Amino acid sequence: MSSRAWIARPFATESPITIAAARPGASVAPILPIMPVSAFFQRRFAPDRTPVGEPKPFGVSLTAPSFGLIQELPGAVGRWNPACVLEIFCSQYSDLIAQLQHVKVITVERIDVRRWRFKNGAWVSQAGIVGGMEHKKDGQFEVFIPRDVDCAEAAQTLYHEVVHVRQGPMGRYFEEFEAYAKTESWAIYLGLPQRGHDLREEKDGREVPSAAKIDEKVRSQYGGPEPSAPGARIVGHTAKEALVLQPGASTPVPRPAVEGDVDMSEKPTTVAPKVLPPSVWVCPKSPQPKKSTP
């Protein structure tokens, strides 16, 4: 039932949003200043390139659901491809592209997951679909991303998963909170729309990530902070217990299950996986300013 490979995240690297800031109720101010919309648009689509995805009319309300309000650029196609992702990242985030060269990116038709949630005194199974995931296999990170999403969504999914790749083990709740908060902050900065959820709010006339909404989403999908110890995670369950793996431990220890516990240790199923060759992650030659990423 449990597989350690799916939970190990040995990278202990920098972390611009600290764990403390990721705690519920803390503010999640955008890390970066808002970039002028026109500047982003000019950078994103060079004159000789065909727009890919659903470029949004930046400046319109970005709260979900925003579909219906979207105007596609003439000639744009719906599915993402590496070229359009490079258009988004290379202008300012070439370090993220450099990181992708060391990650095995696998495109899929779908990622099916099974969650076990402890509700009303019993574990209940729920089937679901997730928009992306990463794990480490044989020492290499693998990132899975659906093929049938537009470029803005694909870029945010890759950004979210690279945040995970750079994280140290903090426990699933804090790992997800940080990944959602950073991705949302970055997407707001670039004027990208939300990807099928509403995790933003208005503050002082600006759109910012909402700590309360992110907390609610993460708790519902991944469970709350592990009560036994920060960094620990549920890797299985028995009828009335959660099996919890402490950081650095190799054997999980049972504790009584509590309402809201989520066990996601069952290995997800990926439909029609295809590995992208690392050679696709090469930015165009023209020198671009570089800024720090997650």
The footprint of Zn ion (CB under 5 A) covers 176, 179
Q: Where are the beta strands (DSSP E) in 98-205?
A: 104-108, 110-119, 122-129, 133-137, 140-146, 200-203
Nearer residue to Zn ion within complex by CB, 221 or 288:
221
Nearest approach in angstroms of CB 254 to Zn ion is 26
213: left (phi over 0), alpha (psi -120 to 50) or beta: alpha
Q: Decide the pairing of beta strands 253-256 and 241-245.
A: antiparallel
Measured distance between the N- and C-terminal CA atoms of the chain, rounded to whole angstroms: 32
Block residue for tokens 């997951």 = 113
Q: Which is nearer to Zn ion, 172 or 200 (CB)?
A: 172
Q: Is 68 left (phi over 0), alpha (psi -120 to 50) or beta?
A: left
Rg (CA), the chain: 19
Minimal distance, residue 179 CB to Zn ion, in Å: 4
Of 158 and 179, the one with the shorter C-beta distance to Zn ion is: 179
Smallest gap from Cβ 151 to Zn ion, in A, equals 20
The minimum distance between CB 130 and Zn ion, in angstroms, equals 8
Nearer to Zn ion, 80 or 144 (CB): 144
Tell me how far, at minimum, the Cβ of 196 lies from Zn ion, in Å: 14
By C-beta, is 84 or 111 nearer to Zn ion? 111
Using CB positions, name the residue nearest to Zn ion: 179
